[in-house]
Amino acid sequence: MPNTYHIVLLPGDGIGPEVVRETRITLEALAPLYDLTFDFTNYPIGGNAIDETGSPLPDDTLAACQQADAILLGAVGGPKWADPTKSVQPEQGLLKLRKALGLYANLRPVRIFPQLTAASPLRPEILQGVDLLVVRELTGGLYFGPRQEGGEEAYDTLIYTRPEVERVVRVAARAARQRRGKLTSVDKANVLASSRLWRQTVTRLMAEAFPDVTLEHVLVDAMTMHLIRRPADFDVIVSGNMFGDIITDEAAMLAGSMGMLPSASLGDGARGLYEPIHGSAPDIAGQGVANPLATILSAAMMLRHSLGEEDAARAIESAVARALDAGYRTPDLAGVAEPDQTVEVVGTEAMGEIVRSYLAGESG
């Protein structure tokens, strides 16, 4: 009997519906090759949900996500809803969803596709061997602490507890143990009390539970420099919510395009939320030129981490690599090629079709 999985799709705003559509079709093409069955349902989130219901995360959407095997998200937000004076914002839906599902660890792999080295602003010799994973704490810290705004004073509060730090570091350390055995913890312990708690907790936990994993501590300001000067030195990086937000976007640029990078948000169970790290890109929405590869690669992470379908995950990743090898590029990657390689620029749907054309050859 085929393994059946219920997947909630949250297309969201901007280019979200376009890239999620191509990913759904890709999963449907993959299913018979690996004896899988996918049950897809669509729900609103973000700006379109505000327009429909007044809420960025309607109750029906949250209830469906709580029952799903996994959730695939496109993007939220855009200039239509960007008035900071309004109390309801599209991004609140995503923050609330992560919190409600207990998704405290955001995994963002950064692997350099050799075919796209020329797209990076860094020199090729600096990029050689870059294969890192950033694990960002997702439901605590500055974004969720007590705050005040209005009048002559405003503040946000950065709070972490030992259990919050321990659980995300365990995720990062387990990942490091399965990779190259090195964990870098990023903080601001020379200034912030919360970071001193973070560093103390990380040091104790690693010594007790992961003595086989090499640990180093790096201050966040130094880390922003190291990621540009020597990114290949890092294996797994773990950090708090705000620092992790900044570091992951910086690390994304190593690959040359945010349209290539997937992410996973995980908690204690198998259920996870998977999304490309790019935004809603409203300036190109509806034009059929968005890069769907980050979302398709997010689906590969979904297959691996939530569904336990490793062979199917690798098939998607290999099909994407083969499409790039063959010289196919979306407009964000136009002009990126190895010497003597011919590049063909294609749109969103065409890139999805090209990836799917390589899937059968990856099914063994």
Q: What is the pLDDT of residues 309-318, one digit of tens each?
A: 999 999 999 9
Judge whether residue 364 has pLDDT over 50.
no
Structure tokens at 359: 């899937």
Q: Band of the pLDDT at 337, cuts 50, 70, 90?
A: low
Task: Taking each helix axis as running N to C, give the angle between helix 193-209 and helix 162-178, from 0 to 180 degrees, rounded to the nearest 10.
Answer: 50
pLDDT greater at residue 51 or residue 360: 51
Q: Mind listing the pLDDT tens digit for each residue in 5-26?
A: 999 999 999 999 999 999 999 9
Give the mean model confidence (pLDDT) for residues 73-80. 94
Question: pTM here?
Answer: 0.90
Judge whether residue 100 has pLDDT over 60.
yes
User: Cα–Cα distance between 84 and 101 in angstroms, integer?
Assistant: 26
Residue 215 has φ and ψ, to the nearest 5°, of -115, 135
Q: Which CATH architecture has domain 121-255?
A: 3-Layer(aba) Sandwich (3.40)
Q: Band of the pLDDT at 256, cuts 50, 70, 90?
A: confident
Buried b / exposed e along 13-46 (16+ C-beta atoms within 10 A): bbbbbbbbbbbbbbbebbbebbebebeeeebbbb
Judge whether residue 1 has pLDDT over 80.
no
Residue with the two structure tokens 């199917």: 312
Q: What is the pLDDT of residue 138?
A: 94
Average pLDDT, the chain: 93
Residues marked as catalytic: 143, 188, 221, 245, 249
User: For the chain, which residues make up each domain, given as ranges?
Assistant: 1-115+261-364, 121-255
Q: CATH number of the domain at 1-115+261-364, out of 3.60.15.10, 3.40.718.10, 3.40.50.300, 2.40.110.10? A: 3.40.718.10
Tell me which residue of 2, 70, 5 sits closest to 33, measured CA to CA.
2
Judge whether residue 346 has pLDDT over 80.
yes
Residue 147 has φ and ψ, to the nearest 5°, of -145, 160
Instruction: Return the DSSP state at 347.
Output: -
Give the mean model confidence (pLDDT) for residues 316-343. 85
Angle at 18 between CA 17 and CA 24, to 5 degrees: 80
Q: Band of the pLDDT at 158, cuts 50, 70, 90?
A: very high
